[in-house]
């Protein structure tokens, strides 16, 4: 009996070793390893690149830190956020003169609330000057002008009087939480201040629901959540699930690399950039 058992064990071990070596040596070879944030359009973009190994992180800041640790070669992320990040973390270089793609941020809206889209679009149009001012102060890092936004306690019995916003407050300068004043968490960021503006215009109380980004889009219309503002790009897939306001910002996706990485210095076009990152895009 012992002999039979040891024989089985030996066979299993041999098979295990074979598989382990096979997965190391053979299979697809990668030109580069790219870090992205889970559930973002950057992740979708990276996934269609051929010869690229994609590593998905909870936040793009983790991806950038992992790049500094040498575990990924580049990070693909939205340009505004990339610039905000590189001003906070040293040793990063943003290739912001060559956008990989261009996309529009929109406010996700519960499709069941048919009147809400019209109201929000009207506010975006009428308050364009105020909204531009909000964007400008965050883009210029005019810290003193930032206005903290607090969330009221959610009350599902008062759905009509509350505007519940889903967000992932880990995405400066669009939305992030900072410390506590008067006992509650204070939110900052372009989206948060616009959300406050919309809530005030609609004469509603603002409630902020902070969650993981890959839950934000799917949460709209559930648990009393009316809208989603989290630097969300309008895409065909997302439009199938939720409604979107008119675009309020045009953003581009860029590559971030280590400051001492000189591979991109001679790049002039997207094609130059992609030649370094991947084999050939399946998109073309």
Where do contacts with another protein occur on this chain (CB under 8 A)? 61, 64-65, 85, 88-89, 153-156, 159, 166, 169-170, 172, 176-181, 183, 185, 188, 209-212, 215, 218-219, 222-224
Nearer to another protein by Cβ, of 215 and 281: the residue is 215
Nearer to another protein by Cβ, of 85 and 123: the residue is 85
Which tokens sit at 14?
């041999």
Instruction: Please state the closest distance from residue 101 (CB atom) to another protein, in A.
Output: 24
Query: Could you please report the per-residue DSSP string of 190-247?
Result: HHHHHHHHHHHHTT-EEEEEE--HHHHHHHTTSTT--EE-SSPBP-HHHHHHSEE-S-
Instruction: Please state the closest distance from residue 212 (CB atom) to another protein, in A.
Output: 6
How many helices and strands, by DSSP H and E, does the chain display? 10, 15
Q: In this structure, how many other beta carbons lie within 10 angstroms of the beta carbon of residue 1?
A: 5
Nearer to another protein by Cβ, of 224 and 247: the residue is 224
Instruction: Please state the closest distance from residue 252 (CB atom) to another protein, in A.
Output: 21
Cα–Cα distance, 62 to 115 (Å, whole number):
39
Nearer to another protein by Cβ, of 142 and 272: the residue is 142
Nearer to another protein by Cβ, of 44 and 159: the residue is 159
3-state secondary structure of 162: strand
Helices 60-68 and 79-88 pack at an angle, to 10 degrees, of 50
Instruction: Please state the closest distance from residue 172 (CB atom) to another protein, in A.
Output: 6
Instruction: Please state the closest distance from residue 119 (CB atom) to another protein, in A.
Output: 22
Contacting residues for 33 by C-beta, under 8 A, at least 6 apart? 52, 53, 54, 55, 71, 72, 73
Nearer to another protein by Cβ, of 61 and 107: the residue is 61
Instruction: Please state the closest distance from residue 192 (CB atom) to another protein, in A.
Output: 12
| Cis peptide bond upstream of 173, omega within 30 | yes
């Amino acid at each position: 009996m012992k002999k039979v058992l040891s024989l089985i064990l030996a066979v299993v071990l041999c098979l295990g070793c074979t598989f382990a070596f096979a997965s190391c040596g053979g299979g697809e070879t990668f030109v580069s390893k790219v870090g992205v944030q889970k559930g973002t359009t950057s992740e979708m973009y990276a996934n269609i690149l051929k010869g690229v190994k994609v590593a998905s992180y909870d936040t793009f800041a983790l991806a950038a830190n992992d790049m500094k640790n040498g575990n990924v070669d580049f990070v693909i992320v939205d340009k505004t956020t990339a610039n905000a990040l590189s001003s906070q973390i040293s040793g990063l270089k943003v290739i912001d003169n060559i956008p990989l793609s261009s996309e529009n941020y929109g406010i996700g809206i519960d499709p069941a609330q048919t009147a809400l889209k019209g109201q929000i679009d009207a506010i975006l149009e009428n308050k364009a000057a105020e909204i531009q001012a909000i964007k400008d102060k965050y883009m210029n890092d005019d810290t003193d002008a930032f206005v903290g936004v607090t969330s009221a306690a959610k009350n599902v019995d008062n759905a009509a009087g509350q505007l519940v916003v889903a967000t992932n407050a880990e995405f400066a300068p669009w939305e992030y939480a900072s410390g506590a004043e008067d006992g509650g968490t204070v939110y900052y960021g372009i989206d948060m201040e616009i959300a406050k503006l919309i809530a005030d215009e609609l004469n509603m109380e603002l409630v902020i629901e902070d969650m993981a980004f890959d839950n934000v889009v799917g949460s709209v219309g559930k648990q009393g959540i009316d809208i989603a503002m989290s630097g969300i790009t309008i895409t065909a897939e997302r439009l199938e699930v939720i409604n979107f306001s008119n675009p309020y910002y045009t953003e581009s996706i860029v590559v971030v690399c280590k400051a001492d990485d000189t591979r991109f210095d001679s790049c002039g076009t997207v094609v130059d950039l992609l030649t370094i990152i991947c084999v050939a895009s399946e998109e073309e």
